[in-house]
Amino acid sequence: MGAFHSYAATVRWTGAGETGTTSYTAYSRDHDVEITGRPAIRASADPAFRGDPARHSPEELFVASLAQCHMLWFLHLASAAGVVVLEYEDDVEGSMRVESAGAGQFTEVVLHPRVTVTSTPDGDDVTLTELHHLAHDHCFLARSVNFPVRVDPVPARVASR
């Protein structure tokens, strides 16, 4: 049996105003996500669900967390394989279906990682593709969801150093 890790956060609703939840339209969806020792994340519902478009939504943060997990594993595996990564960026996209009764679920998340490397041991994208596959296989979050998380990497850019 492997090691167990636990994570904690406080989610604090800040949108009660003067009337609280007297009606569906009476209250703000604004809230803060607080993690000890770190800056608070100002969040709200998605604007489609009466949220503040200037704040992060749980759906956006969820999609971003999948991309972060993949990136961190990829960087770890690249360093272990002797691949020097200089830049990494991912324009991740998530699709969510909402049913007529209001419940919903994510149906897919697609990662589009773009990396810049100095070189790869074999001189082509084969090693990078393998690293993306391994990163996906190791990502704690991708392994924990019940929908497909696809990785569609953009061909790597090789920079001279």
Per-residue pLDDT reduced to its tens digit, 111-142:
999 999 987 665 556 689 999 999 999 999 99
Is the pLDDT confidence value at 161 over 80? no
Tokens encoding 88: 């990494």
Residue 116's nearest CA partner among 79, 84, 94, 78 is 84
- Strand 41-43, strand 85-90: pairing: unpaired
Architecture of domain 58-158: 2-Layer Sandwich (3.30)
Q: Where are the domains of the chain?
A: 10-49, 58-158
What percentage of the chain carries pLDDT values higher than 70?
94
Q: Is the dihedral of CA 55, 114, 74, 92 positive or negative?
A: positive
Given its phi and psi angles, is residue 69 left (phi above 0), alpha (psi -120 to 50 degrees) or beta? alpha
The backbone torsions φ and ψ at residue 20, rounded to the nearest 5 degrees and listed phi first, read 60, -140
